[in-house]
């Protein structure tokens, strides 16, 4: 089996595994099951991890020796998905590539996909970070994040780099999640700014092109009028 065929075969199973992981992790954190239900949830989480690990190893095998190193350093996100379980739900973002509503022109299609991708990434990042920080802070002495609503509010103000300070993580894991969330928020803000700047530049370029076209049209019309007047004058002189 070659690498391209493997990617085609595993794309949808990995997306479904991401959805399953997110749903199971949500149930485990918010529902807080115990006993057999919790054991079942852990089994599902480990099974999805095994699927992503299998995919990563298979990609390294099928890519071929000559391209293996290049694939490794250009797919560090895939490695992070295997090492950091909380990144697995971001695989769901592959679904946004199926949306073709905004594909009217090449430029707007690319910009529309970027906008949808960024909005989806921001929502997932906020939600997953809220789950993770609530899981880390719950039951810790001195914490002020005591509910998922508190965690969700904290995640939202942190990713937007506002940081009111009304809720703050006190555990090492919670603070590491906060660092990652702030870095992700800055990165998403940069993408939004770049997309907006691209749209403005394109609009200005289109307007300049329209003005240039109008100017050329006026010049050509004036040249035709001058040519007509010269013809009429030449004809009058011949008479």
Cβ atoms of 137 and 151 within 8 Å: the answer is: yes
Tokens matching residue 85: 């379980």
218: in domain: no
Same domain, 87 and 103: no
CA 32 to chain centre: 30
Q: Choose between 212 and 133: higher pLDDT.
A: 133
50: in domain: yes
Looking at 91, 122, 139, the residue that finishes a domain is 91
Q: Choose between 114 and 124: higher pLDDT.
A: 124
Residue that the structure tokens 């109008």 belong to? 214
What mean pLDDT comes out for the span 84-113?
A: 48
236: in domain: no
Tokens matching residue 158: 């942190």
Note the pLDDT tens digit of each residue in 10-28. Answer: 888 888 888 888 888 889 8
The reported pLDDT for the residue numbered 230 is 65
Same domain, 70 and 105: no
Same domain, 87 and 137: no
Looking at 91, 117, 132, the residue that finishes a domain is 91
Residues 206-231 as b or e (16 or more Cβ within 10 Å = b): eeeeeeeeeeeeeeeeeeeeeeeeee
- Against a cut of 0.75, is the pTM above it? no
64: in domain: yes
Same domain, 103 and 206: yes
- Name, in order, each residue with C-beta under 8 angstroms of 73's C-beta and a sequence gap of 6 or more: none
- For residues 51 and 57, give the distance between their C-alpha atoms in angstroms, rounded to a whole number: 10
Rounded percentage of the chain residues whose pLDDT exceeds 90: 5
- For residues 112 and 134, give the distance between their C-alpha atoms in angstroms, rounded to a whole number: 33
What mean pLDDT comes out for the span 42-70?
A: 83
Note the pLDDT tens digit of each residue in 157-210. Answer: 888 877 777 888 888 888 888 888 888 778 777 776 776 676 677 666 666 555
122: in domain: yes
Most confident of 29-33, 72-76, 199-203: 29-33
Same domain, 71 and 112: no
Residue that the structure tokens 């989806």 belong to? 120
- For residues 132 and 140, give the distance between their C-alpha atoms in angstroms, rounded to a whole number: 14
- Is 135 a residue whose pLDDT tops 70? yes
Torsion of CA 97, 102, 108, 111, to 10 degrees: -40
The reported pLDDT for the residue numbered 182 is 85
Residue span of the structural domain in which 110 resides: 99-210
Same domain, 50 and 111: no
The reported pLDDT for the residue numbered 105 is 41
| Band of residue 98 on the pLDDT scale cut at 50, 70, 90 | very low
Tokens matching residue 52: 């992503």
Q: Write the CATH number for 188.
A: 1.10.287.70
The reported pLDDT for the residue numbered 152 is 92
Same domain, 157 and 85: no
Looking at 74, 91, 108, the residue that finishes a domain is 91
The reported pLDDT for the residue numbered 39 is 92
224: in domain: no
62: in domain: yes
13: in domain: yes
| Band of residue 96 on the pLDDT scale cut at 50, 70, 90 | very low
- Is 153 a residue whose pLDDT tops 90? yes
Same domain, 107 and 79: no
Is 203 strand, coil or helix?
helix
Cβ atoms of 137 and 143 within 8 Å: the answer is: yes
HSE value, Cβ hemisphere, 13 Å, CA-based, for 95: 17
Same domain, 157 and 78: no
Same domain, 191 and 107: yes
The reported pLDDT for the residue numbered 18 is 81
> How many domains in the chain?
2
Same domain, 54 and 157: no
Question: Please, what is the average pLDDT of the chain?
Answer: 75
Same domain, 73 and 158: no
Q: Which residues of 49-207 form beta strands (DSSP E)?
A: none
Tokens matching residue 205: 């370029």
């Amino acid at each position: 089996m070659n690498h391209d065929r493997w990617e085609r075969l595993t794309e949808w199973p990995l997306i479904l595994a991401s959805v399953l992981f997110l749903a199971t992790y949500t149930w485990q954190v918010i529902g807080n099951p115990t006993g057999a239900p919790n054991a079942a949830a852990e089994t599902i989480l480990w099974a999805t991890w095994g699927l992503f690990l299998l995919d990563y190893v298979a990609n390294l095998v099928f890519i071929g020796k000559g391209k293996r190193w290049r694939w490794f350093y250009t797919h560090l996100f895939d490695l992070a998905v295997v090492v950091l379980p909380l990144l697995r739900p971001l695989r769901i973002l592959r679904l946004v590539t199926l949306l073709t509503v905004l594909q009217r022109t090449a430029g707007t299609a690319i910009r529309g996909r970027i906008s949808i991708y960024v909005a989806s990434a921001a929502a997932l990042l906020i939600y997953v970070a809220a789950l993770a920080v609530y899981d880390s802070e719950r039951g810790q002495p001195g914490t002020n994040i005591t509910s998922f609503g508190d965690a969700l509010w904290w995640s939202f103000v942190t990713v937007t780099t506002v940081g009111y300070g009304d809720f703050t993580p006190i555990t090492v894991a919670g603070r590491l999640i906060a660092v990652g969330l702030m870095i992700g928020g800055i990165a998403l803000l940069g993408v939004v700014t770049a997309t907006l700047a691209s749209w403005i530049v394109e609009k200005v370029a289109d307007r300049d092109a329209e003005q240039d076209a109008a100017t050329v049209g006026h010049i050509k019309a004036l040249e035709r009028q001058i040519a007509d007047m010269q013809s009429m004058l030449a004809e009058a002189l011949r008479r």
